[in-house]
Amino acid sequence: MADDPALGSLHVEDATPPTPTQQKRGVRFWGTIVCLCLLSFLSALDVTVITTALPTITDDIGGARQYVWIANSFVVASSVMQPLFGQLANIFGRRTPLVASVAAFTLGSTLAGSARGAGLLIAGRTTQGIGAGGMYVLLDIVCCDLVPLRDRGTYMGLIFACAGVAAALGPPVGGALAAANWRWIFYMNLPFCGLVLAGLLFFMQVRSGAVQAKELSVMAKIGRIDIVGSLIFTPSMIALLFGLIEGGNRYPWSSWRVLLPLLLGAVGWICFHAQQFFVSNRTSATAFLLTFTSAMLVQSLSYFLPVYFQAVKGATALESGKLFLPFAIGSLVFAVVAGTLLSKFGRYKPLHAVAFILSSVAFGLLTMLNANTAKVASVWFELIAAAGMGMIMSVLLPAIMAPLPESYVASSSATYGFVRNFGNIWGVTIPSLVFNSVIDRNLPNISDPALRSHLRGGGAYAFASQAHTLRHTIDPAVWSEVVGVYVTSFEAIWRVCLGISLFSLCAVALERSVEMRKELDTEYGLEKKDDVVEELSPSHREKS
């Protein structure tokens, strides 16, 4: 944020990279990487594991009116805290904020698991979100501190793979735990958090930055936080997210209760960027844009493809989760493949272009989905989508950092984390608006007035989860009409995503091909006694 005033005037895209060095990675490096993978798994699992369990939870403790905030308090808290954690990582080093984030996540899990009412559950989810926001940002920052830019795609691919496994496991695990005891959805985090905390304290013996920063008192370090920027950014994002979450749920989009926070949030965001020095080089700016659009695409597909399986194909929630596995698992594989290719060839622009070409092809194919589409066809469509969106996952942050010096790792990682999370929110909001609008516009095609009433005004999403049982109680001709309306709505969503994919493909042309650094140059990283990078002397290299 404002701690990086030079960021706005940097034009270093043609800088010559340093000479590569040989590297040796020891026990502390791999122990830290394992901790990062576990944290990635935990934070991603907590987002998805609650989705199938929320109806059971709210039925048990009440809070049906607060349902939307039980679901989204985690997202809001994690989003608004990410830039602040980026600053804290530069001021206090990496380990202290990361340990504090895990501790907050642990506390939030305890509060949520022991909640007897909606208020405490929301408080627990909010505390979890604060911790998860720090974890999201610091995972990227620490990974960047451990390996040179050229190699980051490989290790970030591993971290994203763990998150993808968690995302795939979340819904069935949440459903199973909800049937047994939903509190274990939160309590199961505790032993893993304890293990990670122990691992971080033992393995992550890291440098805390420049000598001058270490000599400052705690109050002096706190004084270096961009208080003005934080006071503008945090309330603005809360207002903006409040409007996005409440709109179409508790209040109609035309309500002043939705329009006012959206307006205040937008004005605050503009003021924040006026107060800050923004990244001005076109490669980093374009990569941030692609981070936003790719997050939207992944979230749109993840949110609505399972609904297609339930509403159109008549699958249960568990069956739709299984049918979604080709995308979930495939995206992990392609994330690792893309990271490996980036490390080998050092070229991110061709990977970006290929990713969005595949994404465009996938969404074009998805527009063909209907009630008669064979399962094998949908699997192939998912795999093509997984190739496109999986490839882009692990190769965006290295592209953002390629034109920037290593001193901007924390600020650029924090911005990347926020942009990605913000894209996830819009990736639900935009297709939801399209879905509900197209459903309402096509309701006259359904001859049953009762069904039309049930599907109107956002009811079609919840109705999809009951389709596997209701389809047998409804006249086949009428049910065919219902399915036709759903198919038309999904087709509209995939067309919007196709447009976003093609726009992103065009945007790739704005990037410059910057040669990626093969040498690590950071004030942070593991301590010298077992450093992550050990440079071998020329004489030693000759002997070996």
Q: Is 0.75 topped by the overall pTM?
A: no
Asked if residues 438 and 489 have their Cβ atoms less than 8 Å apart, the reply is yes
pLDDT on residue 362: 95
* Structure-model confidence comparison of residues 330 and 522, the more confident one: 330
Q: What is the 3-state secondary structure (H, E, C) of 132-155?
A: HHHHHHHHHHHHHHHCCHHHHHHH
* Structure-model confidence comparison of residues 316 and 507, the more confident one: 507
Q: pLDDT tier at 269 (50, 70, 90 boundaries)?
A: low
pLDDT on residue 381: 94
Contacts 24+ apart (CB under 8 A), 183-188: 183/113, 183/114, 184/113, 185/49, 185/50, 185/53, 185/113, 186/109, 186/110, 186/112, 186/113, 186/124, 187/109, 187/110, 187/113
pLDDT on residue 227: 62
Q: What is the pLDDT of residues 353-384, one digit of tens each?
A: 999 999 999 999 999 999 888 889 999 999 99
Could you give the count of Cα atoms lying within 13 Å of 283 in the half-sphere of its Cβ? 23
CA distance 199 to 36: 10
pLDDT on residue 211: 43
Q: Which amino acid does the sequence have at 309?
A: F
Most confident of 51-65, 166-180, 318-332, 507-521: 318-332
Q: What is the pLDDT of residues 484-516, one digit of tens each?
A: 989 999 999 999 999 999 999 999 998 888 776
Fold agreement between 25-207 and 282-516: yes
25-207 is classed in which CATH architecture?
Up-down Bundle (1.20)
CA distance 295 to 290: 8
CA distance 37 to 200: 12
For the chain, which residues make up each domain, given as ranges? 25-207, 226-276, 282-516
- Which residues, including other chains, have CB under 8 Å from residue 366's CB and lie 6 or more apart? 301, 305, 381, 385, 490, 494, 497
The predicted model gives 276-303 an average pLDDT of: 78
* Structure-model confidence comparison of residues 417 and 330, the more confident one: 330
- Superfamily designation of domain 282-516: MFS general substrate transporter like domains (1.20.1250.20)
pLDDT on residue 7: 36
